[in-house]
A and B are shown apart, each in its own frame.
Chain A
Amino acid sequence: EIVMTQSPATLSVSPGERATLSCRASQSVSSNLVWYQQKPGQAPRLLIYGASTRATGIPARFSGSGSGTEFTLTISSLQSEDFAVYYCQQHNNWPRTFGQGTKLEIK
């Protein structure tokens, strides 16, 4: 199975600043990488699919990049509602493995 590794585990950033989250796959997943946001007590929300395409209704401050084994989620100017846990998931192979998550917290 493909192992997805996210870094860092926790990221402390001030509102208005940029956040950069990383996700690495143990083997190539092409561009079949998605990002989710999860807030406490809520189901995950799809942010990015195809490594770089924003899902419906996702603000432009969220952007994704990468292909193969290295991926990045960037939030350009953090808003209060962006502080949450972010997960990457590969949709290239079965099983559809998730990263362990990055908790984005207020600095």
Chain B
Amino acid sequence: EVQLVESGGDLVQPGGSLRLSCAAFGFTFNSYAMSWVRQAPGKGLEWVSAISGSGGRTYYADSVKGRFTISRDNFKNTLYLQMNSLRAEDTAVYYCAKDSISSSSGFDFWGQGTLVTVSS
């Protein structure tokens, strides 16, 4: 059974840093691209970042480019999101999501989300 389990969400001050993790189970992790998607309280979904199965290609939303870094450890079956220079507008539930059969077929599995709150 496919499972994605996020962790690392916390309350952090503006300008601070946080690293999110997403542990993957039940599929061949290195065969699939992975993404982070966030949802601010009461708002819609915002795609944040993606990484190819090998980790060789990464993509970012303009809103986080230069501040966030996506990475993966295919030996540990874990996806990461390093978030630096955090702002109040980064407050959201962060989901990790697995690509479906191809990168153009959507995200077929999602984690339960981890809450990041940026506030003084």
Contacts and interface: CB of A to CB of B under 8 A. Distances in A.
A55 B113 contact: no
A87 B46 CA distance: 11
Interface stretch (A17-25, A43-51, A75-83): A43-51
Contacts of B45: 36, 38, 44, 87, 89, 98, 101
A97 interface: yes
A95 B47 contact: yes
Interface string B31-62: 00001010000001111001000000001111
Given A43-B110, A43-B111, A89 B47 contact: yes
Interface residues of A toward B: which range? 20 to 34
Contact of A98 (B44, B60, B113): B44
Interface residues of B toward A: which range? 20 to 34
B20 to A, nearest CB: 15
* Main secondary structure on A side of the interface with B: loop
Nearest to B50: A96
B1 interface: no
A44 to B, nearest CB: 6
Interface string B75-112: 00000000000000000000100001001111110111
Interface of A: 1, 32, 34, 36, 38, 43-46, 49-50, 55-56, 85, 87, 89, 91-92, 94-101
Interface of B: 35, 37, 44-47, 50, 59-62, 95, 100, 103-108, 110-113
22 contacts: A32-B104, A34-B106, A38-B45, A43-B95, A46-B108, A49-B100, A55-B108, A87-B44, A89-B45, A89-B106, A91-B105, A92-B104, A94-B50, A95-B47, A95-B60, A95-B61, A96-B35, A96-B59, A98-B44, A98-B45, A98-B46, A100-B44
